[in-house]
């Protein structure tokens, strides 16, 4: 006969290891992130979502707004994407609308990867080719 304490330990081990397996795609499982290779495959998000959600860091997205400020000289290739009161720094190709007067008069949507800035709470966009 197996001692009761040993049966209890064996039961706990079985219950614990059954929860350690890979999660199956089901009703409660989050879908796996698939890296979009083109803008058409990327989900649309807002500037506000990028600024507020840590879960978007590392993801490729489409995001809309207007050009806030474009850098010149050594800062060329650094600009701000603005949507209402929310703004985020973008590094990469500066849209032609950023170079027109008045700046911020033309809506645009870009394809970019969200990355952390120098501060872990800061977010940046690295613009990708459309």
Quick: pLDDT tens for 9-56.
Answer: 444 433 333 444 444 445 566 677 789 999 999 999 999 999 999 899
Which pLDDT score is estimated for 27?
A: 58
The pLDDT score that the predictor gives to residue 82 is 95
Residue 122 has pLDDT above 60, yes or no: yes
Report whether pLDDT(75) > 90: no
Q: 34-127 falls under which CATH superfamily?
A: Nucleic acid-binding proteins (2.40.50.140)
- Non-local CB neighbours of 115 within 8 Å, separated by 6+ positions: 57, 58, 123, 124, 125, 126
User: What residue segments make up the domains of the chain, in order of their start?
Assistant: 34-127
Instruction: Quickly count: other Cβ atoms within 10 Å of residue 69's Cβ.
Output: 16
Predicted confidence at residue 44, as pLDDT, reads 97
Kindly report the number of other CB atoms within 10 A of residue 39's CB atom.
17
pLDDT at 68: 87
Is the confidence at residue 59, as pLDDT, over 50?
A: yes
Q: Where are the beta strands (DSSP E) in the chain?
A: 44-45, 60-70, 78-83, 86-91, 107-116, 123-127
Distances (CA, A) of 60 to 25, 87, 94: 22, 18, 18
Q: Residue 88: its pLDDT value, please?
A: 95
């Amino acid at each position: 006969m197996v001692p009761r304490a040993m049966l209890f330990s064996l039961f706990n081990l079985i219950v614990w290891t059954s929860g350690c397996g890979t999660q199956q795609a089901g009703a409660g499982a989050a879908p796996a992130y698939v890296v979009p290779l083109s803008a058409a495959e990327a989900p649309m998000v807002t500037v506000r979502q990028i600024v507020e959600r840590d879960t978007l860091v590392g993801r490729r997205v489409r995001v809309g707004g207007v050009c806030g400020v474009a850098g010149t000289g050594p800062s060329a290739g650094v600009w701000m994407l603005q949507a209402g009161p929310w703004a985020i720094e973008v590094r990469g190709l500066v849209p032609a609308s950023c170079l027109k007067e008045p700046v911020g008069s033309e809506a645009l949507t870009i394809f970019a990867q969200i990355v952390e800035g120098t501060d872990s709470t800061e977010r940046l966009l690295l613009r990708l080719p459309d």
